[in-house]
Amino acid sequence: MRTNSILAIGAVFGALTVGVLIPVRDAHAEGNTPHDFAAPVVFQAAGPTVGSIQGTVDAYRAALGQPNNVNTAGPLSSGHREINWDGGSTNNQTTTISGSPFAGFQVTRGALFTTPDGTGFVQAPPAADPASFPPGGLAGVFDNATYGVIFQAFSLRRLFSAIDSNVTDVDFFVPGGGGIAATVSGFGAVFTDVDQPDGSGPGEKQGNREASTLIEYFATDGSLLFSSFVPASPGDGSVSFLGIVFDDARIARVRITSGNVAPGPDDGGKKDVVMMDDFFYGEPRTAP
């Protein structure tokens, strides 16, 4: 492995949006030497509001390729796919719990979700809806009333999380059915309430905090292509984004570690509870 410097588009510090050079750790190429590894372009942003990351997310959509192919059977020659967990409605307050594997988007958008140590997944707004029965919401599912106020949705209104785990695996398939394994050129995700950054200084001195949220990208043979921590923005309800784009479709699987603890406990101290929102990825193409 080696450390590469690549351009991060629209990194956000507080409310200021800038472009910076960042170090890329834990990156290597499938079957290649370090000298011929082509690093991906990385997009990252974090801040207190949706507007803090919106420009970076839009730039990432463009880098993946337009249009959003939604549920059209593939593989298509251009475009990308998105999942926003909202069930097609900005007013969706429904709480939906699914088992693992969760195949609700495997045929339509080419993504299959599993959680290796968890029991399933939830799609829900942060707070319980008193007009629905059961009230649900993340606050109800995880029996923690604080979850109704510490998380913010990027696209209204529902968020996504594994249950009894903070790890989510995404495998890609050609949309349209048939269970044909696929690869994608890039994958990015929105997170809410990533509080813990990539450390707080050198050494083991008191006060150091390890990063809580990570995305790892794997090739068809299971080798690690790239990994990076998700940028943090301290404070309740913050939003963060991390996405990468390679120049070809080489990503077969993604592992997301959202927070450093499974949802349930209060967020704070050494426990960083993180929820996921919109996913974006390149058009799935038949795996080599």
- Tens of pLDDT, residues 170-227: 999 999 999 999 999 999 999 999 998 754 434 444 444 578 999 999 999 999 999 9
The chain-wide mean pLDDT, for the chain, equals: 86
Task: Check whether 31 has a pLDDT greater than 60.
Answer: no
Give residue 211's pLDDT.
Answer: 86
Residue 258: name the closest of 267, 249, 250, 247 by CA: 267
Task: Check whether 77 has a pLDDT greater than 50.
Answer: yes
| 75 — pLDDT class (breaks 50, 70, 90) | very high
**Exposed / middle / buried, residue 94 (Cβ in 10 Å: 0-12, 13-18, 19+):** middle
Distance CA 230, CA 212 (A): 8
Distance CA 74, CA 172 (A): 12
Give this prediction's pTM: 0.86
Distance CA 282, CA 265 (A): 35
Residue 54: name the closest of 154, 193, 158 by CA: 154
DSSP 8-class letter at 102:
B
Distance CA 83, CA 111 (A): 9
Q: Strands, E, within 54-158: which ranges?
A: 80-83, 96-98, 111-114, 120-124
Give residue 247's pLDDT.
Answer: 96
Give the pLDDT confidence of 85-97 residue by residue, as tens digits: 999 888 888 999 9
What count of residues does the chain have?
Answer: 288
Residue 225: name the closest of 1, 4, 30 by CA: 30
Distance CA 280, CA 66 (A): 12
Give residue 218's pLDDT.
Answer: 98
